[in-house]
Structure 1
Amino acid sequence: MLNQSKPISVFNFKPGTCLRGKWHQRTYYIKEKLGTGAVGAVYLAKQDNNQWVALKISDKAASITSEINVLKKLAKVQGESPGPSLYEIDDWIDRRGECYPFYTMEYVQGESLDTFLNKRGRQWLGVLFPQLLEELEQLHRVGFILGDLKIENVIVTHRPIRLRFIDVGGVTLIGRSVKEYTEFYDRGYWQCGNRTADPAYDLFALAMMALRFAYPNQFGRTKEPKKYLITKLKQASPLKPYDPIFHKALLGQYQNSQEMQQDFKKRTRQLTTKRSAVQQQKRDIDWLEIVICISISVILFFLATFY
């Protein structure tokens, strides 16, 4: 339970802490902290109906209201939302009478992108990225960009296998200044553009996600950041099949997500055709070897029998 002798912190609830909503009177039991950010903290909690949810609570009412509005916007995106579904909005009153806004959302289970790719193979980039690009296109069409798109903010779900983002704190209205970003994924940091929200900002970050996978320890900026970034891309062997696509994204040469998605699909078809040709060639060689072996065996049999 919370210590009454110290100020309450929404960032440090212990497992087993019980929260009850002021308005809807639902009870939530904290299991563990999932993460802490600039706006608040997210916890895995069990609702009183035994449903697991992600609960985000904050002492910044304006910021958390903004996130709630974004989640409502995502719910209007055509098809399945790439982000978590919003469940309930409420306030929690602590023992001192302080009021903290919170909301609950879908608890998205899965594994990190880098873990998934290391297990399944880098060819899955050609499956997961086009799918996310399609969902980003829907978000862009309703006037927003994801903003703080990074490998830590996405997760690969199973059944079906799908890439989803789990933090909407960086979502920004197109035309506004990006309000939340991480330097490594930010085109302004690499001098590849400004921080005004547009679709190309998300596409740059998507390419940086791929580079983050290729370089687990990341890398820092140099005196010529843009040139250095392109060099690192060329040296990233896991990304070779899609190098031209990521190159265009880093240089801001895509106007929208759909263009990048089409390039991915085209490249994936080329790789599939090439792979099939190689496999067919291998099968042909295998059959040729079998025929040669049989022929040699027949010749040796006749030589042994008649001579």
Structure 2
Amino acid sequence: MNTQTLKKPDINILKGQTITGKWHKKKYYVVKELGSGAIGTVYLCVYQNVQVALKMSKQSHSITSEVNVLKAFKKVQGHSLGPSLIDVDDYISANGHVYSFYVMEYISGDDLPNFINRNGQEWLFTLLIGFAKDLQTLHDEGYVFGDLKTDNLIVSRKPARLRWVDVGGTTLQGRAIKEYTEFYDRAYWQMGSRKADPGYDLFALAMVILRIYYPNGFSRGDNPRKTLQQKVQLAIRSQSLKQLVGKMLNGDIDKADQVKDYLLQYVMKQNQQTQLRQKRLSQKNQQETSFHPTLEVVSILSISGLCYIYMTLFL
């Protein structure tokens, strides 16, 4: 890849434009811009009738770093950590400047807050269980996601699964976090350092949960720790989830597997309680009317029951 370090003008890629790789000559038709950040801009493109995501940057070293992360993820057997890498190349603009880019799998779906608002809070537990499992695998590989926030997460379809779509903030453990967003940043809330360790991601994940309850966010105030405690108490009704989020914010949990196990036990307990209530209701109904098997099936397939079946099959 090109390592040109001369200052380049901002990237100006337009809808309908075709990006042709300098080295591999692959052509990508630009559908629209998906997002832009400090490192570069991501575009939705079409390559050979397949939608892909293309990230382009003036900083070739940053693109190289992200590509290396995606390659490392690809080596993890049995896991799909982040989008899969498709191509790496350079692009020569009309004015002769060279920009680095890479192409990755385009993950379509819904953002987490909208998905939860439409489908119910029960899905939050199910999605977080699978995500915590992936996060533990990432940590086991020696990385921290870093810039973990709702904007970098998406709920993919068929099956529904919470996945990350931008690895720009991914940092080797032990180093300083290279990219972050204040609302999700442990150091900003004066709850710890900006050093890349698993606890940094778990704090950010707790803030992701809070962002669902507070879509517009909130300020940290004069006492950030007290602010967080108050927001947790006011918004989260479930005592179990309230306790878990508190532990993640305070650094009392330092492994994503602990989050996964905690949530899994909670969901299973809730499912058992739901089935018990439904069984009692069914027995009461049987005393009043004749037994009908269809009603029994419908009563079992409650939201919590469906979530439990989903986890059994896919997680």
Normalised TM-score (structure 2): 0.86
Q: Encode CA deviations 1:132-158: one digit per residue, 9 max, x unaligned.
A: 111111111111010001111100011
**CA–CA distance in 2 between the matches of 1:146 and 1:33?**
23
What are the within-5 Å matches in structure 2 for residues 1-307 of structure 1? 9-10=10-11, 12-47=12-47, 49-237=48-236, 240-290=239-289
1:96 offset after TM fit, Å?
2.1
**Partners of 1:234 and 1:240 within 8 A in 2:** no
**CA–CA distance in 2 between the matches of 1:33 and 1:238?**
38
**Partners of 1:144 and 1:174 within 8 A in 2:** yes
**CA–CA distance in 2 between the matches of 1:114 and 1:79?**
28
Partner of 1:89, secondary structure, is strand
1:80 offset after TM fit, Å?
2.5
**Aligned letter for 2:257?**
Q
1:98 offset after TM fit, Å?
1.1
Which range moved further: 170-179 or 272-281? Answer: 272-281
**Partners of 2:83 and 2:107 within 8 A in 1:** yes
**Aligned letter for 1:25?**
K
Partner of 1:266, secondary structure, is helix
Unaligned runs of 5+ in 2: 1-7, 291-315
Q: Encode CA deviations 1:87-135: one digit per residue, 9 max, x unaligned.
A: 0000011122211111100010111111111111111111111101111
The residue that corresponds to 1:304 in the other structure is: none
Against the structure 1 CA distance between its residues 118 and 72, is the aligned structure 2 distance closer, same or farther, given a 3 Å change threshold?
Answer: same
**Aligned letter for 1:70?**
V
Q: Encode CA deviations 1:270-295: one digit per residue, 9 max, x unaligned.
A: 1111222222233334345559xxxx
1:243 offset after TM fit, Å?
1.4
Partner of 1:79, secondary structure, is coil
**CA–CA distance in 2 between the matches of 1:255 and 1:237?**
22
Between the two proteins, the alignment pairs up a number of residues equal to 283
**Partners of 1:146 and 1:168 within 8 A in 2:** yes
Against the structure 1 CA distance between its residues 245 and 259, is the aligned structure 2 distance closer, same or farther, given a 3 Å change threshold?
Answer: same
1:239 offset after TM fit, Å?
5.0
Determine what percentage of the aligned residue pairs are the same residue: 43
**CA–CA distance in 2 between the matches of 1:131 and 1:79?**
14
**Aligned letter for 2:10?**
S
**Partners of 1:78 and 1:138 within 8 A in 2:** no
**Aligned letter for 1:80?**
H
Runs of 4 or more above 6 Å deviation: none
**CA–CA distance in 1 between the matches of 2:145 and 2:237?**
26
User: Over aligned residues, Cα RMSD in angstroms?
Assistant: 1.6
**CA–CA distance in 2 between the matches of 1:256 and 1:27?**
43
**Aligned letter for 2:266?**
R
**Aligned letter for 1:247?**
G
Unaligned runs of 5+ in 1: 1-6, 292-307
Q: Encode CA deviations 1:187-219: one digit per residue, 9 max, x unaligned.
A: 111111111011111111111111000111211
**CA–CA distance in 2 between the matches of 1:221 and 1:214?**
16
**Partners of 1:214 and 1:239 within 8 A in 2:** no
Normalised TM-score (structure 1): 0.88
**Partners of 1:210 and 1:239 within 8 A in 2:** no
